[in-house]
Structure 1
Amino acid sequence: MTSDAEPRKAVGRGEKVRAAVHAATLAELVDKGYAALTVDNVAQRAGVHKTTVYRRWADRESLVVDALADHVAADIPVPDTGAVDTDLRELARSLVHTMTSPTGQAVLAAMLSDAARLPEIADARKRIFGDRLRRAEPVIARAVERGELPTDTDPGELLKTLAAPIYFRLLISAEPVDDSTAEHAAALALAAARGGVVRKG
Structure 2
Amino acid sequence: MSADPGTVRPGGRTARVRAAVLRAAGDVLVEEGFDRLDLADVARRAEVGKTTVYRRWGSVTGLVADLLADMAETSSPREETGAVLTDLLANAGLVQRTLADVRQGALFRAVIAAAACDARTAQALRRFYEVRVAEWAPCVEQGVTRGELPVGTDAGAVVRAVSAPLYYEWLTAGVVPDNPAAERAARAAHAAAVAGVYVRTP
> Does the TM-score normalized on the shorter chain lie above 0.5?
yes
Q: Aligned partners of 1:152, 1:89: CA distance in 2, in Å?
A: 22
Q: Aligned partners of 2:19, 2:74: CA distance in 1, in Å?
A: 12
Task: Let me know the Cα RMSD of the aligned residues.
Answer: 1.7
Q: Aligned partners of 1:176, 1:99: CA distance in 2, in Å?
A: 7
Q: Aligned partners of 1:69, 1:116: CA distance in 2, in Å?
A: 18
What is the TM-score with the length of structure 1 in the denominator? 0.87
Look up the match of 1:7: none
Look up the match of 1:3: none
Helix, strand or coil: the match of 1:97? helix
Q: Aligned partners of 1:50, 1:116: CA distance in 2, in Å?
A: 28
Helix, strand or coil: the match of 1:35? helix
Look up the match of 2:182: 182
Q: Is 1:106 the counterpart of 2:132 in the alignment?
A: no
Look up the match of 2:6: none
1:158-177 matches, cutoff 5 A: 158-177=158-177
Structure 1 contact 154–200 (Cα < 8 Å) conserved:
yes
For residues 32-64 of structure 1, give each alpha carbon's deviation from its aligned partner in whole angstroms, at most 9, with x where no partner exists.
Answer: 211112112211222211111112101111101
1:6-25 matches, cutoff 5 A: 13-25=13-25
Q: Which runs of 5+ in 2 are unaligned?
A: 1-11
Using the TM superposition, give the Cα deviation of residue 162 of structure 1 relative to its aligned residue in structure 2, in angstroms. Answer: 0.8
Q: Aligned partners of 2:36, 2:18: CA distance in 1, in Å?
A: 21
Using the TM superposition, give the Cα deviation of residue 115 of structure 1 relative to its aligned residue in structure 2, in angstroms. Answer: 5.0
Q: Aligned partners of 1:78, 1:115: CA distance in 2, in Å?
A: 26
Structure 2 contact 115–125 (Cα < 8 Å) conserved:
no
- Residue correspondences, number: 190
Q: Aligned partners of 2:95, 2:68: CA distance in 1, in Å?
A: 15
Residue identity opposite 1:25 in structure 2: A
Using the TM superposition, give the Cα deviation of residue 114 of structure 1 relative to its aligned residue in structure 2, in angstroms. Answer: 4.7
